[in-house]
Amino acid sequence: MNSKRRDMPGRSFFMPSNISQAERCHCLPLSSLQAVHPQAQDEECVDIEKITPATPALNAMLRARLASFFPSSTSLSLLLLHISQLEHISLSQPTTFNKRQRYHAPPSFLEQVLANVRRAIRSSEQILVDEGVGAAIIFPDVDQQGISKILERIYHSVSLLQAETVIPPLKYETDVVMGTGSYPEAGGSLEHLLHHVSVTTRRFTLPPAITTQQWAIDTIQPDTEELTIARVPNIHDNASSISLGVPFMQLPSQLPARLKHLIPYDIALQLRCAPVGRDHHYLTVAMAEPSNSASIHYLAEITGLTIFPVSCDISVLNTLLANQW
């Protein structure tokens, strides 16, 4: 039997979301065929090393979208992506309470992940986005062998992300997990396909951004459900190169060639800065004076990009600036 009518390709479908970074992750497998502890929803997210979960809203949206494909005589593959962050545990807490809970990530981080995902797939693929939580991608006419190759491309692209260059830099250990499934290889029904795609195939973990300063992060308060963050200077910090309130970044030994043209060398030398990362319209710039608002405004004008300033080791910055570009 021929497949039913399919929707127009090349579209992303977004679900409105009021999910905040402080919301607990209670995501579950797409299919009831997965065995989940009955109290998992009250205790913690499922084991992401084994299960790639989704919110009930994304599950419902995906099922509704897939209804137009079944029954089908052609291949169909899915990729499910889920993001969660582990809370910080204060060392002052009693050991019995040191159970790390999972929370949803900010929507901005998912957007940066999906920007890398889109570089590895065709623009015509249908992406269902659950803001701050994850996404599902439908691949019509792609079999199990095909989705395996696509998964490797996507994983390679996403793994290029770094905690320091994500905007803003990550403050929490963040897991990006992926699962894939193919019809008819996974089984002859939609439920079997959803069961198969919920099995974690790839997992990518980003640690908090590495700095020479340490973050003191209080646990989430039940009444406010907000994260309180305070920066505690390390006794080894170099006061001349570290600005309080500005993230610190360890600089590479050389600048990427694709970034050098964004800031002319004479201006970089004058402002004592160097472009070290870019994501869409955000440009991460290492600066000797990262709190100099005039310099930041000027860089934004000449680049046409939003400047994200970071502090750095001044000696390393001087070494980079010693090589003209």
- Class of domain 247-321 as given by CATH: alpha beta
What pLDDT score was predicted for residue 65?
94
What pLDDT score was predicted for residue 35?
61
The string of pLDDT tens digits covering residues 19-77 is 444 588 999 999 988 765 544 444 455 788 899 999 999 999 999 999 888 887 899 99
Q: What is the CATH number of domain 12-206?
A: 3.30.70
Domain boundaries, the chain: 12-206, 247-321
pLDDT band at 235 (very low <50, low <70, confident <90, very high): very low
Contacts of 207 (CB under 8 A, 6+ apart): 163, 170, 173
What pLDDT score was predicted for residue 239?
39
Contacts of 278 (CB under 8 A, 6+ apart): 258, 259, 262, 284, 305
Q: Would you state the structure tokens that stand for residue 207, as one six-digit string?
A: 């640690």
Report pTM.
0.60
What pLDDT score was predicted for residue 228?
27
* 209 has pLDDT over 90: no
Sign of CA dihedral 158, 163, 168, 171: positive
pLDDT band at 132 (very low <50, low <70, confident <90, very high): confident
Range with top average pLDDT, 1-5, 30-34, 295-299? 295-299
* 95 has pLDDT over 50: no
The answer to which of 2-6, 124-128, 158-162, 198-202 has the lowest mean pLDDT is: 2-6
Q: What does each C-alpha distance from 67 to 36, 70, 198 come to in angstroms?
A: 25, 6, 18
pLDDT band at 245 (very low <50, low <70, confident <90, very high): low
